[in-house]
Amino acid sequence: MTTDKEQYKVHKEPFYQAQGKEVVLYEAAYAARLPVMVKGPTGCGKSRFVEYMAWKLGKPLITVACNEDMTASDLVGRYLLEANGTRWLDGPLTTAARIGAICYLDEIVEARQDTTVVIHPLTDHRRTLPLDKKGELIEAHPDFQLVISYNPGYQSLMKDLKQSTKQRFTAFDFDYPEATLETQIIARETGLDEATSAKLVKIGQTARNLKGHGLDEGISTRLIVYAATLIKNGVDPKDACRMAMARPITDDSDIRATLDHAIDATFA
């Protein structure tokens, strides 16, 4: 029978291309069981990196996509009413603390600040999680680690982490790869030839230069992968770029025209 740990293991190696020392530095953080914060723009590989590290370390991974409606009970757990009475159901954070998993809270700033406070005792010397409703204090498994991520460039002042939370974590700054490396990533991820991959990356960089000048976010590596996948499956490159790279990021007609011009010029 599959154990809880096996259920959450990453059994197949996720493709991840290191940009610097992040792999060895994360290994050092995990060895010391230090909490980790991963910061960077949308679709730059934050979640893939965490998944890759869980695979490399052979540790179970429990991922939570945070949102503004998420309560502390969604993380910690709650009592469920059943025909024969009530039953306690652990939340993902509690499960990770019990079994020794890496708990990854994706886009942590989307959660309410009163919700994120529950992680504090797990991120210092105590490494405990109080279940107030149950009257239980969990001591985190020796293998447990907490990882959070967010996009600092996309958050308003109303949606930022408190210093009391930030200063409990070590941190990595992620960004989109430089052009040559990103081209290799696209080609490796999708099987598309490097010449066409390089053209897609060029369009992506054009859009990123428009950030703050009509665009809130540039074209992510994820969207470039989408376009490359469409092309690999026989879609015309111009159509693929419009569908996967230009249309998702803006409804502004002028910005769309600028991106369409870049697409037409690149695949003339």
Tell me the pLDDT tens digit for each residue of 47-58.
999 999 999 999
Q: Which helix (H) or strand (E) holds 4?
A: helix 4-8
Final residue belonging to a domain, choices 133, 150, 173: 173
Q: Which domain range does residue 102 map to?
A: 4-173
Final residue belonging to a domain, choices 115, 145, 173: 173
User: Residue 3's pLDDT is what?
Assistant: 56
Residues 141, 30 within the same domain: yes
| Residue 216 predicted with pLDDT over 50 | yes
The three-state secondary structure class of 121 is helix
Record the tokens describing residue 232, joined without a space. 């690999």
Mean pLDDT of 247-257: 93
| Residue 2 predicted with pLDDT over 50 | no
| Residue 1 predicted with pLDDT over 90 | no
Number of domains in the chain: 2
* Cα-based distances in Å from 165 to 91, 125, 148: 21, 14, 11
Q: Summarize pLDDT for 7-37 with one digit per residue, the tens.
A: 999 999 999 999 999 999 999 999 999 999 9
Q: What percent of the chain has pLDDT over 70?
A: 96
CA–CA dist 168, 147 (Å, integer)? 11
Mean pLDDT of 190-205: 97
- The reply to whether the predicted model has a pTM over 0.85 is yes
Residues 151, 214 within the same domain: no
Q: With both helix axes pointing from N to C terminus, report the angle between 179-190 and 194-208 in degrees, rounded to the nearest 10.
A: 130
CATH number at residue 56: 3.40.50.300
Phi, psi (deg, nearest 5) at residue 230:
-65, -45
Q: Summarize pLDDT for 132-160 with one digit per residue, the tens.
A: 999 999 999 999 999 999 988 765 545 67
Residues 224, 149 within the same domain: no
Closest CA to 185 of 147, 235, 220: 220
Which residue type occupies 26?
A: Y
Token pair 């723009």: residue: 41
Indicate the burial class of 169 (C-beta count within 10 angstroms; 0-12, 13-18, 19 or more): buried
Q: Summarize pLDDT for 73-107 with one digit per residue, the tens.
A: 999 999 999 888 889 999 999 999 999 999 999 99
Final residue belonging to a domain, choices 124, 156, 173: 173
Are the C-beta atoms of 44 and 78 separated by less than 8 Å? no
With cut-offs at 50, 70 and 90, classify the pLDDT of residue 162: confident
Residues 167, 36 within the same domain: yes
Please provide the DSSP assignment of 224-258 as one string. Answer: HHHHHHHHHTT--HHHHHIIIIITTT---HHHHHH
Residues 9, 142 within the same domain: yes
CA–CA dist 3, 12 (Å, integer)? 18
Residues 166, 45 within the same domain: yes
